[in-house]
Structure 1
């Protein structure tokens, strides 16, 4: 297929793009490039690139594509809390406009990177399947609900959306995110000797490796349309739900000499949920996840050491998305609407 990947210069996009190419698909990227140079190690091979703000995409940009894998978004809760209205504008309204443009251009498949964060606080202690109610606690989680609803309204015989409700991601990517819990705890352990928890560690969280999320995109892209049309899937493995303190203990086991510590005033995290990923396992046999959290921690330790990562770099703007946004704004390169200012190449 000819596939457009939005956010291809991001954390997941840098893993998904080469995976799709290796499977024989023709890939074009679309990215405003906020994080294009936020690298740990060599950059992935480039693909044809539409350097566009997601909010500016029109049908003519999408002519000739068979499918869209839509990753681009304000990617975490702290950025969402910085300006909630921007989160709704980019993550929800621009997503629906992108889908409308794709449909007008004749694109037939639309894979949307949603999130298990829409389950939010969790409504009970059981693992939540795709029919569970929503209880988002952040604008980011709420924006995913609105997007799924808007995309569902566009679904018909000619346009087929699929919703990938990703568990919390972890694992190495050339454009590493340090604001993800496993990546953060592993760096803290390796580079400071402390597995430092900012919460009391009692919250449940489903976890999934970046490569397994991308494998799910590929499997759903290639799945029969009638099997996956307008469906939501929790992306991960049902056995990979952890208490955050369990993750910290795993990190301490893998990283010799490290100990678990708690930040002063650490309290409970309101995001607390387990999910069931049995539906995708049953309906999409092409999806074969490979990773566990322990293996991911071991991979991260090796990658951090191989690339000479320091704690200063890890906690700086290169690997912390909110700090990157704030640094670009502070330098006058981004305006308050997160658009490049005059003088920055388009």
Structure 2
């Protein structure tokens, strides 16, 4: 285990924005067990996988139903550190309403940074994405590689990275921002998602016998298991400021850089009888093969789950009924569309903060 992730918090209090999501629903219980007092800020659109933990850990975990676009600084009372996992989380969902996406992913994220500065938060860990690299012309892109984001989602991530690091440079070391550029996530989570490449392809192969691949499948993706991503945030929270303050780290491991075609072939081998369907009309504009040396050598980050292990994990979870293929909440776009149908544009309006919440 990494020395930073193993270290216990000295009674620290951390706000996890978006803490009920795919990564957060794994990260938050780990933080509580590590000795942190945790406040989760979330709209809980996709349910509350943390209710049982909150009930069992009274005093250590508080759930707040609020919106980062209008929440006030009372939610940060006594908070030492922030982990920002908030935002509309994939390209198709972001494209549903670009104005709303910008308001949340840029406006809301900017507001949370300003509130954190106002109340004196020191460590601020931001969940960015390797998608900021866009279309890479070479392999093994490092944190110093010029970014070329191809989508609204990636563009919004890069804007907040730049804002956060600028604030850090102006603070003389008092404010310590850390940016984690996560690889493409995969694996099983209490808040399951089947709109991520590996998870989606396994689901399609299992349920329909077909694996859909955009273009020729030669595009690269750097994959990282959701549990390994959660551990990276704990490392970033616990690491000495000299190692992480005002730094960007790619989060993943080199052996999990895969071309989509090879991923499809491996899934096909695990689910005999499934077929690979290439869509020549749908060209994928994203292509990034990423270097993770900095996280490994400077932070001691390592990933415990390989892509092949992840394929088997998802297949087993489907087969055992651990995850429900028919739960519309596991597809972000589909669930947002359903919520839009029920509530119209009111869905995305800010909500009044609920300071003490037990979310149903």
Specify if TM > 0.5. yes
Q: Any idea what SS the aligned residue of 2:185 has?
A: strand
Q: Which residue of 2 aligns with 1:142?
A: 155
The residue that corresponds to 2:84 in the other structure is 70
Residue 53 (1) aligns with residue 77 (2)? no
Give the one of 288, 292, 301 matched to 1:277.
292
Hey, what's the Cα distance between the residues in 2 that align with 1:11 and 1:194?
Answer: 25
Q: Give CA deviations for 1:245-279 in whole Å, capped at 9, x if unaligned.
A: 1111111122233232234x543310111110111
Matched position secondary structure for 1:332? helix
Are the structure 2 counterparts of residues 300 and 225 from structure 1 closer, same or farther at C-alpha, using a change threshold of 3 Å?
same
Q: Does 1:335 align with 2:346?
A: yes
Contact kept in structure 2, 1:203 and 1:268, CA below 8 Å:
no
Query: More displaced, 209-218 or 331-340?
Result: 331-340
**1:242/1:58 CA distance change after superposition, 3 Å:** same
C-alpha distance 338-170 of structure 1, shift in aligned 2 (>3 A) = farther
Q: How many residues align?
A: 334
Query: Deviation per CA, 1:99-146, whole angstroms, max 9, x where unpaired?
Result: 110121121110000011111112x12211000111111111011111
Greater alpha carbon shift after TM alignment, 217-226 vs 79-88 = 79-88
Q: Does the 8 Å contact 1:195/1:258 carry over to 2?
A: yes
Change (3 A) 1:326 1:160: same
Contact 1:14 1:44 in 2 (8 A): no
TM-score by length of 2: 0.87
Q: Distance in 2 between matches of 1:114 and 1:279?
A: 16
Q: Which of 178, 199, 202 is matched with 2:194 structurally?
A: 178
Which of 143, 158, 178 is matched with 2:174 structurally? 158
User: Within the alignment, does 1:210 sit opposite 2:226 as a pair?
Assistant: yes
Preserved contact between residue 202 and residue 268 of structure 1 (Cα < 8 Å): no
Alpha-carbon distance change, 292 to 90 in structure 1, aligned in 2, over 3 angstroms: same
Unaligned residue ranges in structure 2 (runs of 5+): 1-11, 55-60, 353-358
Q: Structure 1 residues 51, 340: CA separation in 2 closer, same or farther (over 3 Å shift)?
A: closer
**Which structure 1 residue ranges, 5 or more long, are not aligned?**
none
Q: In structure 1, what is the Cα distance between the partners aligned to 2:248 and 2:188?
A: 26
* Cα distance between partner residues in 2 of 1:210 and 1:142: 22
Match in the other structure for 1:29? 40
The answer to which structure has the higher helix fraction is 2
* Corresponding residue to 1:299 among 296, 301, 313: 313
Q: For 2:343, what is the secondary structure of its paired residue? A: coil
Which structure has the higher relative contact order (CA within 8 Å, separation 6+)? 2
